[in-house]
A and B are shown apart, each in its own frame.
Chain A
Amino acid sequence: ETGVTQTPRHLVMGMTNKKSLKCEQHLGHNAMYWYKQSAKKPLELMFVYSLEERVENNSVPSRFSPECPNSSHLFLHLHTLQPEDSALYLCASSQDLRGPGYEQYFGPGTRLTVT
């Protein structure tokens, strides 16, 4: 059973809506990540948080706004999205950022459809 949960599992929203994706990890990890997975594309890293501080933002449009209130929770706030933002959004956590052996544990993802 995964130690990383995501809600909701499915989300349909209009381009003018505001919604939030939630991720929670129960593993005591220090680092958390948001990924976007579009059809036929590699996983795209969006944001990285380490000990609640954002350490990476991979040129993500401002209509995606992450929030990490504590080391166990990560949110992705969405507003005025575009149809091309429809994708599977995956949250992951790892013990730490450094060292090649720290595997990431993924949540089940949120399937987002923008209409």
Chain B
Amino acid sequence: AQKITQTQPGMFVQEKEAVTLDCTYDTSDQSYGLFWYKQPSSGEMIFLIYQGSYDEQNATEGRYSLNFQKARKSANLVISASQLGDSAMYFCAMREGKENRDDKIIFGKGTRLHILP
């Protein structure tokens, strides 16, 4: 079973509109971390935002916010006031935090976001 599911392979959004990228995850751990990365056409993976499983408030970083719904195992990325430079591939990822084994980050398949002028 997939650990990270991103159901939107591609999205087209008008510039200046808000965007929500979906991500659901599957884990039995109590302690875990959720991440979003942006990958422009240049290939580099850029870390955007992090949410810990015990964080009570949704994470925010500038125009990025993470809509964390723990009971639904959902960690959607919200981009406010989208810009042309936001066009990229976006990956949701999870790091599970069991102490008796080494952790690794698991990535979803990604969502390609196109911002239209």
Which residues on A are within 8 Å of B, measured CB to CB? 2, 40-43, 45, 48, 50, 55-56, 88, 90, 92, 97-109, 111
Q: Given A101-B50, A108-B42, A108-B43, does the pair A55, B102 have CB atoms closer than 8 Å?
A: yes
In this complex, the interface size class of chain B, counting residues with CB under 8 Å from chain A, is 20 to 34
Judged by a CB distance under 8 angstroms, whether B99 is at the interface is yes
Q: Verify A101–B104 contact, CB threshold 8 A.
A: no
Tell me the complex Cα distance, A106–B39, Å.
Answer: 10
Chain A residues within 8 Å of B103, by CB? 97-100, 102
Chain A residues within 8 Å of B99, by CB? 98
Q: Verify B43–A104 contact, CB threshold 8 A.
A: no
Chain A residues within 8 Å of B68, by CB? none
Which residues on B are within 8 Å of A, measured CB to CB? 4, 31-33, 35, 37, 42-47, 50, 52-53, 91, 95-97, 99, 102-105, 107-110
Tell me the complex Cα distance, A48–B32, Å.
Answer: 19
Chain A residues within 8 Å of B32, by CB? 100
Tell me the complex Cα distance, A111–B104, Å.
Answer: 23
Q: Given A98-B102, A100-B31, does the pair A42, B42 have CB atoms closer than 8 Å?
A: no
Q: Verify A48–B109 contact, CB threshold 8 A.
A: no
B110 touches which of A2, A42, A56, A109 (Cβ 8 Å): A42
B105 touches which of A40, A98, A104 (Cβ 8 Å): A104
Chain B residues within 8 Å of A103, by CB? 33, 35, 47, 50
Tell me the complex Cα distance, A111–B99, Å.
Answer: 35
Q: Given A50-B102, A55-B102, A56-B102, does the pair A104, B107 have CB atoms closer than 8 Å?
A: no
Q: Verify A101–B52 contact, CB threshold 8 A.
A: yes
Chain A residues within 8 Å of B31, by CB? 100
- A to B CB contacts below 8 Å, 27 in the list: A2-B44, A40-B109, A42-B107, A42-B108, A45-B104, A48-B102, A50-B102, A88-B43, A90-B45, A92-B45, A97-B103, A97-B104, A100-B31, A100-B32, A100-B53, A100-B96, A100-B97, A102-B103, A103-B35, A103-B50, A105-B47, A106-B46, A106-B47, A108-B42, A108-B43, A109-B45, A111-B43
Chain A residues within 8 Å of B96, by CB? 100
